[in-house]
Amino acid sequence: SQQGEEDPQALSIQEGENATMNCSYKTSINNLQWYRQNSGRGLVHLILIRSNEREKHSGRLRVTLDTSKKSSSLLITASRAADTASYFCATDFNTPLVFGKGTRLSVIA
């Protein structure tokens, strides 16, 4: 069964705009990770945020974590056509990673 649920399921924006994706989960976590998957390819790790962290940055990515609400958000700033992909959150709590269903992001040039 899948723990995380990403929202929205699909998102379409213009190049240069910011994209925000949300992830909600059900149980306690040690870490929450975000991965990207280009169509028909494997997943690429983007960022890991630990349960005692509230915000983390990596380049154009900003991740927040609210453990009281059991939710996380991924912000991609100044989006590019190459950001078009599916984005998954994954959680773990002394267990293997459990992935959500993903958000499909389309960035239109």
Partner 1 sequence: EAEVAQSPRYKITEKSQAVAFWCDPISGHATLYWYRQILGQGPELLVQFQDESVVDDSQLPKDRFSAERLKGVDSTLKIQPAELGDSAMYLCASSSRGETQYFGPGTRLLVL
Q: Binding residues for partner 1, per CB under 8 A?
A: 2, 4, 31, 33, 35, 40-45, 48, 88, 90, 96-102
Q: What spatial distance separates the first Cα and last Cα of the chain, rounded to whole Å?
A: 36
The first and second tokens of residue 52, run together, are 């005692």
Pick the closer one to partner 1 by CB: 44 or 108: 44
Pick the closer one to partner 1 by CB: 76 or 88: 88
Query: CB of 43: closest distance to partner 1 in angstroms?
Result: 4
| Letter string b/e over residues 13-39, b meaning 16 or more CB atoms within 10 A of that residue's CB | beeeeebbbbbbbeeebeebbbbbbee
The rounded Cα 79 to chain-centroid distance in angstroms is: 15
Query: CB of 44: closest distance to partner 1 in angstroms?
Result: 7
Query: CB of 49: closest distance to partner 1 in angstroms?
Result: 11
